[in-house]
A and B are shown apart, each in its own frame.
Chain A
Amino acid sequence: MTAGMPARRLLPRGVREFLTALPFLLPSMLLFGVFVFYPLGKSVYLGFFISNPFRTRQIFVGFDQYRDVLTSSDFISSLLVTATFTLYTVVPAIAIGTFLAVISNQKLPGIVIFRTIFSSTLAASVAISAVLWLVLLHPSIGVLNDGFDAVGLSRVNWLEDGGWAIGERATPWDMFTAWFIDPNWALISVSLATGWMNIGLFTVILLAGLQTIDEELYESARIDGAGRWSEFWHITLPMLSPTLFFASVVGTIFAFQAFGQIQILTQGGPVDASNVLLYSIYTTGFEAPFRVGAASVQALGLFVIMLVLTFGQFRLMSGRVFYR
Chain B
Amino acid sequence: MEIQDREFFVLLGPSGCGKTTALRLAAGLEEANEGGIYIGERRVNEVAAKDRDLAMVFQSYALYPHMSVYDNIAFGLRMRKHSKDEIDKLVRDAAATLGIDELLKRKPGQLSGGQRQRVALGRAIVRRPQAFLMDEPLSNLDSKMRVQMRAELVRLHRELGATFIYVTHDQVEAMTMGSRIAVLDAGRLQQVGSPQEVYDRPTNLFVASFIGSPAMNLLEAEPAQVAAQDNSKKAGARAGGVDVRLPAGLANQLKESGASSLMLGIRPEHLGLNVTEPAATFDGQVDLVESLGNEQHVTLSLQRASVIARLSTTERIEHGSSLQLSVAPEHVQLFNAATKERIGP
Instruction: Give chain A's interface residues, CB within 8 Å of chain B.
Output: 214, 216-217, 219-227, 230, 234-235, 238-239, 241, 322, 324
Contacts and interface: CB of A to CB of B under 8 A. Distances in A.
A222 B67 CA distance: 16
Interface string B3-38: 000000000000000000000000111000000000
Contacts of A225: 50, 76, 79-80
Given A322-B65, A322-B66, A324-B109, A223 B60 contact: no
A224 B58 contact: no
Contact of A223 (B55, B64, B66, B67): B55
B64 A235 contact: yes
Closest 5 CB pairs of A and B: A224-B76, A225-B79, A216-B62, A322-B66, A225-B50
Given A224-B79, A234-B64, A235-B64, A219 B50 contact: no
Contacts of A217: 62, 64
19 contacts: A216-B62, A217-B62, A219-B56, A220-B58, A222-B28, A223-B29, A223-B55, A223-B56, A225-B79, A225-B80, A226-B50, A227-B50, A230-B79, A234-B64, A238-B66, A238-B67, A239-B65, A322-B65, A324-B65
Q: Is the interface of A mostly helix, strand, loop or mixed?
A: helix
A26 B127 CA distance: 61
Nearest to A231: B79
A29 B27 CA distance: 59
B75 A223 contact: no
B58 A221 contact: no
B80 to A, nearest CB: 5
Contacts of B127: 224
A322 B71 CA distance: 15
B337 to A, nearest CB: 42
Interface residues of B, number: 23
Contacts of B263: none
B134 interface: no
A223 B109 contact: no
A220 B65 contact: no
A123 B49 CA distance: 41
Contacts of A239: 65-66
Interface string B66-84: 1100000001100110000
Given A222-B50, A223-B56, A234 B65 contact: no
A239 B108 CA distance: 14
B167 interface: no
B54 interface: yes
Interface in B255-295: none
A224 B29 CA distance: 12
Contacts of B27: 219, 223
B62 A214 contact: yes
B234 to A, nearest CB: 59
Contacts of B29: 219, 222-223
A224 B27 CA distance: 11
A90 B62 CA distance: 33
A230 B78 CA distance: 11
B75 A224 contact: yes
Contacts of A227: 50
B8 to A, nearest CB: 20
A222 B54 CA distance: 11
Contact of B62 (A220, A226, A230, A234): A220
A219 B123 CA distance: 14
Contact of A216 (B58, B66, B80): B58
B137 to A, nearest CB: 12
A225 B123 CA distance: 12
Interface string B281-317: 0000000000000000000000000000000000000
A182 B324 CA distance: 103
